[in-house]
Amino acid sequence: MLRAEIDGINLELEENISILDAAKKAKINIPTLCYEEGLSIYGGCRLCVVEIEGEELLKPACATNIKDGMKIQTHSKKVRELRKNLFELIIATHNIDCQLNCLTCSRANNCELKDIAEDIGVSKMRLDPIKRGQSIDNSSYAIIREPEKCISCNRCIRKCEEVQGIGIFTTANRGPETLVTTFKNRGMGNVECTNCGQCILSCPTGALHELYQKDSVLDILNDESKHVVVQTAPAVRVAISEPFSNQAGDISTGQMVTALKRLGFDAVFDTNFAADLTIMEEGTELINRINNNGRLPLFTSCSPGWIKFIEHFYPDYLENLSSAKSPQQMFGAIAKNYYAREEGIDPEDIVVVSIMPCTAKKFESKREEMAGDVDYVLTTRELASIIKSAGIDFLNLEETEYDKLLGVSSGAADIFGTTGGVMEAALRTASELITGKELEKIDFDSVRGLEGIKKAEVDIDGLKLRAAVAHGLGNARKLMEMIKDGEEFDFVEFMACPGGCMGGGGQPISCDDNVLEKRQKAIYEIDKNKKLRKSHENPYIKKLYDEYLEKPGSEIAHKLLHTKYKA
């Protein structure tokens, strides 16, 4: 144990703890910009400098470990003056538009720079901002980069490289001209970006954000000639309230449906309905591959960031991907065919809007393999922003149920929103379809939790199904290397984002501690409280097969619900 004193507070601390972490334990807030929990220490912004008794130079708290007997001051006059100077230098390389056009910035409501300016007590700027003449990178269908707003904290670089294992960002130039950019400044749409959007969650300013489609959706809602239907992804309902309440883990399904109706959507449906459908199609494909010596392991195909990853880095394994489209895309195809027929609406007049926790879903909707299924994709953040600008008091809304035909889903579909959920949903259905017997226990605990890679062997009436689950592309790469090295599995779930979709790049930017744990708990709570907890028992899925699709894997199901990815 070490002893140290921070701002007069005596602490007993474990070895190898940074001053920043020790201060947190003492509930002392030291401002940081380039630091992010879970990423390597960069120590570039220096805003976290502290004064250590007996040392002439101030030290960065993130990169300095506590030594026994240290006495530290985190907010002395010397510290505050240097912090202010450093902050002014940082802000001077930041876009002048921030100072003139803060109101229109995507991060106007939660800009870390603004928060820090307040913490540090910066009231006026003494330095003229440097304009670097960099144009906006809008080469991607999913993520927009505004280099003039970049403050070179390098968090996006580290997130992409260290967590996602990709590394599309790099730095260019030196000194005040330093820039974060993509390889040869080619643009996000022309490098190996998977569109996962994890960089957006790390960016402290508005330098990275999704391609906004909010205005297009508001316009289409005003077009009387169109029948606009909306679908909401599993993970949105446990995060949409965060921008209103500043706390994570609340379930707001009913309020979200009410808000969407108030916004003017003609029908409010659930992606979860299509998640149940996915289980029927993907589960059938798994059983067929096992019975017919097909290519194994079968890989899930619902996470578009993962699809882009395998296309770039493991093209030899594309045959392992399930041919099932993602639930988002299946929903679009069903809405424009089955729903159109049932309601007597010309499919040309139907507009499908998705609300997704994911930026890569925007890219997925534009893929040529399935273009036309879905017309617009909004992130959870975009929906929250539209709700706010419509003056809707979200937290006090009454609850409404989804519209019926494509709006009823099982608990198995709800858990799609967290890592391990697709696997568990598939196991519930595959077990019962294979054995013809009801499962005694439907919770598959071995694929739950936030461990990066989970493995499980499930005994289905003598058939030993070897399963694995990876979330976050860094873990996906590790698991792919295990498979390349000969480790054998039958079915593998991959999700591009840490935590699965609940941690997607389109979710609200964290406003609470332990956000993933809280969202995950909420997702399992929704499942537990549902009577209907298995995809194959969903009466509206049965009706869809009886009246339209015939049976899982039928010719028409293949035409509408399956696809093939090419390298």
Q: For Cα atoms 13, 14, 18, give the angle at the middle one, nearest 5 degrees.
A: 80
Between 93 and 354, CB nearer to ligand HC0: 354
Q: Is 319 a catalytic residue?
A: no
* Strand pairing category for 59-60 and 49-52: antiparallel
Interaction between residue 416 and ligand HC0 (CB under 6 A): yes
Least separation in angstroms between residue 502's CB and ligand HC0 is 7
The reply on whether position 303 binds ligand HC0 by CB under 6 A is yes
CA–CA gap between residue 481 and residue 323 (Å, rounded):
22
- Judged by CB, which is closer to ligand HC0: 203, or 501? 501
Tell me which of 142, 230, 235, 345 binds ligand HC0, using CB under 6 A: 235
**E-strand spans in 444-495?**
453-460, 463-471, 491-495
172: alpha, beta or left, given left = phi > 0 and alpha = psi -120 to 50?
beta
Rounded Cα–Cα distance for residues 557 and 550 (Å): 8
Regarding 234 and contact with ligand HC0 (CB under 6 A), the answer is yes
| Active-site residue (options: 146, 364, 382, 493) | 364
Q: Is 332 in the site for ligand HC0 (CB under 6 A)?
A: no
Catalytic residue, from 202, 252, 322, 354: name it.
322
Residues between 22 and 61 with contacts to ligand HC0, criterion CB under 6 A: none
DSSP 8-state secondary structure symbol assigned to residue 403:
P
CB of 247 to ligand HC0, least distance (A): 20
Instruction: Specify the DSSP element, H or E, that contains 277.
Output: helix 271-291
3-state SS class at 419: coil
Binding characters for ligand HC0, 266-285, by CB under 6 A (x = yes): -----x---x--x-------
Q: Distance between CA atoms of 73 and 6, rounded to whole angstroms?
A: 6
Active site residue 369: yes
Does residue 417 belong to the site contacting ligand HC0 (CB under 6 A)? yes
Instruction: Tell me, by CB under 6 A, how many residues bind ligand HC0.
Output: 22
Q: Does 357 bind ligand HC0 (CB under 6 A)?
A: yes
Whether 285 is a known active-site residue: answer yes
State yes or no: is 322 an active-site residue: yes
Strand ranges inside 491-556, DSSP E: 491-495
Q: Which is nearer to ligand HC0, 11 or 358 (CB)?
A: 358
Amino acid residing at 265: F
Q: How many residues does the chain have?
A: 567
Does residue 334 belong to the site contacting ligand HC0 (CB under 6 A)? no
Among 267, 345, 383, 422, binds ligand HC0 (CB under 6 A): 422
Q: Measure the CA dihedral 438/444/445/446, to 10°.
A: 130
Residue 385 identity:
S
Nearest approach, Cβ of residue 413 and ligand HC0 (Å)? 6
Instruction: Given the residues 34, 362, 501, 518, select the one marked as catalytic.
Output: 501
Cα–Cα dist 460/439, whole Å = 10
Residue 487 designated active-site: no
The yes-or-no answer on residue 302 being catalytic is yes
What residues are paired with 49 via a beta bridge? 60
Location of structure tokens 């003229």:
128
Q: Is 356 in the site for ligand HC0 (CB under 6 A)?
A: yes
What is the C-alpha to C-alpha distance for residues 92 and 137, in angstroms, rounded to an integer? 21
Q: How far is the CB of 31 from ligand HC0 (least distance, A)?
A: 33
Rank residues 163 and 235 by Cβ distance to ligand HC0 and give the closer one. Answer: 235
**CB of residue 253 to ligand HC0, shortest distance in Å:** 12
What's the rounded Cα separation, in Å, for the pair 134 and 116?
Answer: 25
Question: Does the annotation mark 216 as catalytic?
Answer: no
Task: Measure the CA–CA gap between 383 and 379, rounded to whole angstroms.
Answer: 6
The answer to whether residue 364 is catalytic is yes
Catalytic residue among 51, 285, 382, 432: 285
Cα–Cα distance for residue pair 206/208, rounded to 1 Å: 5
**Token digits of residue 505:** 């790049």
Of 164, 326, 337, 419, the residue at the interface with ligand HC0 (CB under 6 A) is 326
- List Cα–Cα distances, 39 to 193, 453, 473, 543, in angstroms: 19, 19, 15, 48
| Radius of gyration over every alpha carbon of the chain, rounded to an integer in angstroms | 25
With CB atoms as reference, the residue minimizing the distance to ligand HC0 is: 501
Least separation, in Å, of the C-beta of 167 and ligand HC0?
A: 23
Piece in contact with ligand HC0 (CB under 6 A), picked from 180-188, 248-256, 400-408, 496-504 = 496-504
What are the catalytic residues?
282, 285, 302, 322, 361, 364, 369, 501
Q: Give the residues lining the site for ligand HC0 (CB under 6 A).
A: 233-235, 271, 275, 278, 302-303, 326-328, 356-358, 361, 416-417, 422, 495, 500-501, 504
